[in-house]
Amino acid sequence: MREFVISPKYLKREILILLFCFIFSFPLNILGIILYKTPWHEIFTQLGYVVIISFVFYFTVTLLRLIIFLLYTFFKRLWGRLHSKA
């Protein structure tokens, strides 16, 4: 079985993407507190939900990145086949 090695550069990029997802989710929690006029201690009590929402955003971004990668690969191969016959 092949051994997969995750490079530090790739790991750092993924952690940064996850951090940005958390940074995007946290203000949504604050916005919800302001809009629904709930107590401010919910910033800490709802932190679990913020983490879950961050992971949902992360998996959504990962899915979009995968779709873009697959489309790029498909069109790159298609372009190569079209120009290799000429």
pLDDT for res 86: 53
Q: Which helix (H) or strand (E) holds 32?
A: helix 8-36
Buried b (16+ CB within 10 A) or exposed e, 11-40: eeeeeeebeebbeebbeebeeebeeeeeee
pLDDT for res 35: 95
**Digitized pLDDT (tens) for each residue of the chain, 86 residues in all:** 788 888 999 999 999 999 999 999 999 999 999 999 999 999 999 999 999 999 999 999 999 999 999 999 999 988 888 877 65
Instruction: Residue 44: name the closest of 30, 55, 58, 56 by CA.
Output: 30
3-state secondary structure 48-71: HHHHHHHHHHHHHHHHHHHHHHHH
User: Residues 6 or more apart from 58 whose CB is under 8 A from it?
Assistant: 17, 18, 21
Amino acid of residue 71: L
